Structure 1
């Protein structure tokens, strides 16, 4: 059975192994034992209620219960940019005009922005290659929406997700080569690594404060602004299907898009329902819809996928499912259809640098 639960200190070895499979671009899961241990400890402290809002972050794991192994992670940062600036570029327009020459020319620009300060962030989504089958990716990505719905009081009005931008297998980013390299004097992979490790002060120290004219960038750099890495396209589709959208903000390093939305308007938040647990053995038909279900226990949060009827009212849990969720007959269960309508989106693989800072 595939189970979502809060991270535990004992998961460090599995998560460290996962971090070695991420490749360049997922800066929030660096292969660094000290950093990952600190991230796990911060998540545990968040659930325990011992951190200020600026430091709070939830890290979920996907566990193969038969193998007793963590095979994926996803996370939520409660409020970004409160302890240090949160940077991205906002696409804008400056108009150059000359009445005497009858010239009116809108010029696309990039403005350094802190507009998302205080927003909740969906981050650190990664699934082991061996488990990128079935609906594991959907479970790992969408469980965060169910957690937002269940514990809405802990989060901001808006949510964002930074998507991995375009780069090749060697770590070269066309946007970085045309922009960042000139200001930072280092390779893209190193700058990305530093931000993933929480070392962000160099951005404020070295990044230009004036608008950048995109027409002065290379053709390849302009072409990738707001575009995602091919491996991240499924994750983008999942988030857009849940109600997030691209509003013209991109990453300052690789120009990957930032998706954003009102938490209360997200599909899974609006459509999830509370219902009492009903215990019964149920058959799993290939055509039966899937539901994401979770308990309402904050510190002992558990979630998994089950099959059900056409409406949540017909959902039942088997004895094994109820046990793994820590539920008994009559307890409250939160549920939502896995897919909007009946359109099964492809399973996501990874978002961008969902920051482990």
Structure 2
């Protein structure tokens, strides 16, 4: 049975392997044992924090288990750029006009900004490629179920960065056209620096004036707002949740930055709380659903068959066991995501 739970110190070896397997695309999952250990320790403290409202500093790391084997990980940063600004490029249109020449041109420009600072950030996402789509979905949605369970700890807006287009040598056409001119570092090098050091170097070295998109090479222009093929599954899940590619792109590779209103996302909109009844045989009408125990430090979520009858959620003993629930307790239930191109009724 697929289950998502908070990370433990004992998960460090497998998290290390995932950091290697994820390559350069997941900067919040650094290939550095000490940094990963710090993230796990930070997560343990965040989950155990008893305050109703968070400070914004919290970092929550989860793992996906498949029959007891850890096969994925994902995280939440309660406030992007809590200690330093969260940089991105804002995509805008600038008008250049001359009444004398009767010219009125609309030019696509990119402005470095930190508009998204303070928003919730979904990050550190990696799932073993052999896993089916349902595993990817559960890992992604579990974070939203946790935000619901600890809603007072999180803000109103949420963002996710998508990795942009790279060539066969893991170089970014977008980075080569802009960042390399100021850093004299190739893309893998700067991604490594971003993952392990302070981000203030962005403000120190990157141009703060508008970037005129028509002046960039075609390869860089074509990369703006695009998604790396390895991120197509997460992108599909997030867009079905209700995330949208707004006017922001990643400052390094030009990949799309997705944003949303937290409470308007499908999982939070459609979830319901129900009293639990554990039954060896489920009543008629049981369907697959996402179920969480709606706790913090002992948080757990799974996808399993269940059925709601007269506001009571019937689940099997196996489901109750992985969620540490008994009859009479409360559980949070969300339906499966609508398929692409369809919306919930």
Fold-level similarity (TM above 0.5): yes
CA offsets, 1:128-182, max 9 Å, x none?
123x225111110111111112211110110000111111342111101111110
- Tell me the SS of whatever aligns to 1:297: coil
| Alignment-derived partner of residue 318 in structure 2 | 320
Matches within 5 A, 1:81-230: 81-130=81-130, 132-133=131-132, 135-230=134-229
| Alignment-derived partner of residue 56 in structure 1 | 58
| Alignment-derived partner of residue 351 in structure 1 | none
| Alignment-derived partner of residue 273 in structure 1 | 272
Distance (Å, rounded) in 2 between the aligned partners of 1:101 and 1:249:
33
- Tell me the SS of whatever aligns to 1:236: helix
Which segments of 5 or more consecutive residues in structure 2 lack a partner in the other structure?
A: none
Q: CA deviation at 1:316?
A: 2.0
Q: 1:55 to 1:312 in 2, by over 3 A?
A: farther
Q: 1:104 to 1:284 in 2, by over 3 A?
A: farther
Report whether the alignment pairs 1:251 with 2:246.
Answer: no
Q: 1:289 to 1:193 in 2, by over 3 A?
A: farther
- Tell me the SS of whatever aligns to 2:209: coil
- Tell me the SS of whatever aligns to 1:141: helix
Distance (Å, rounded) in 2 between the aligned partners of 1:211 and 1:312:
58
Indicate conservation of the 8 Å contact 1:109/1:211, yes or no.
Answer: yes
CA offsets, 1:97-120, max 9 Å, x none?
111111100111000010011100
Q: 1:330 to 1:311 in 2, by over 3 A?
A: closer
Distance (Å, rounded) in 1 between the aligned partners of 2:312 and 2:163:
39
Q: CA deviation at 1:315?
A: 4.2
Distance (Å, rounded) in 2 between the aligned partners of 1:64 and 1:235:
19
Structure 1 residue aligned with 2:332, among 331, 334, 344? 334
Indicate conservation of the 8 Å contact 2:14/2:70, yes or no.
Answer: yes
Distance (Å, rounded) in 1 between the aligned partners of 2:232 and 2:66:
25
Distance (Å, rounded) in 2 between the aligned partners of 1:122 and 1:277:
30
Q: CA deviation at 1:284?
A: 12
Distance (Å, rounded) in 2 between the aligned partners of 1:284 and 1:171:
52
Indicate conservation of the 8 Å contact 2:236/2:340, yes or no.
Answer: no
Distance (Å, rounded) in 1 between the aligned partners of 2:174 and 2:283:
47
Distance (Å, rounded) in 2 between the aligned partners of 1:62 and 1:143:
9
| Alignment-derived partner of residue 35 in structure 2 | 35
Q: CA deviation at 1:311?
A: 8.3
Indicate conservation of the 8 Å contact 1:75/1:144, yes or no.
Answer: yes
Q: CA deviation at 1:48?
A: 1.9
Report whether the alignment pairs 1:47 with 2:47.
Answer: yes
Which segments of 5 or more consecutive residues in structure 1 lack a partner in the other structure?
A: 346-357
| Alignment-derived partner of residue 302 in structure 2 | 304
- Tell me the SS of whatever aligns to 1:291: strand
- Tell me the SS of whatever aligns to 2:277: coil
**What is the TM-score normalised by the length of structure 2?**
0.93
Of structures 1 and 2, the one with the larger relative CO (CA 8 A, separation 6+) is 1
**What is the TM-score normalised by the length of structure 1?**
0.90
Q: 1:313 to 1:234 in 2, by over 3 A?
A: farther
Indicate conservation of the 8 Å contact 1:284/1:307, yes or no.
Answer: no
| Alignment-derived partner of residue 69 in structure 1 | 69
